[in-house]
A = this chain, B = another copy of it.
Amino acid sequence: MEKNFSHIAMKKKLDRADKALLDILQQNVDLPLGEIAARVNLSPTPCWRRIQRLQEEGFIRRKVALLDAEKLRVGVTVFVSIKAGRHSRDWFEGFRDAVSAMPEVVEFYRMSGDVDYLLRVVVPDIKAYDAVYQRLIACAELQDVSSSFAMEQVKYTTALPLDYI
């Protein structure tokens, strides 16, 4: 008879220190470990082990550099609402793959309600957007495509709320 020891590695709930760690790391990932440990009132070793555990358990997906959109000349954000109409599964897969492959499309959602798909597209200017738009409507049969330009990015964060865990 075998026993299941998975409960040893799997912690039921994250405690205050774990949440504090996640909060620090999703703001800034290149603080020295000693500094992080001090902020959560732990010594480096247990702090390091907690971070390892949070990675292994999948709370931390990856560590990335966030670049400056203006400097990369993609300061213009456009939201694209798409109505697809009735289509087959093959159609969707082709559409999904073609859109996902476009580097200007940074977010892509399948929606409920009026609109079928919503994209966030980043480009240098309206002219460049038109090129993306042309590629978009060429890649799959679409019923209706409507574009809304953002005037100002008031808030943009990759930091998720930790209040629900």
> Which residues of A come within 8 Å of B, CB atoms?
22, 25-30, 57-69, 71-74, 77, 79, 96, 99-100, 103-115, 117-118, 122-124, 128, 148-165
Contact = CB atoms under 8 A, between A and B. Distances in A.
Given A29-B29, A148-B112, A154-B109, A128 B160 contact: no
Given A63-B64, A72-B165, A161-B104, A149 B112 contact: yes
Main secondary structure of the interface of A (DSSP, over half): mixed
Contacts of A25: 64-65
Given A103-B160, A106-B160, A114-B148, 5 more contacts: A26-B64, A72-B161, A99-B155, A107-B153, A122-B161
Nearest to A102: B161
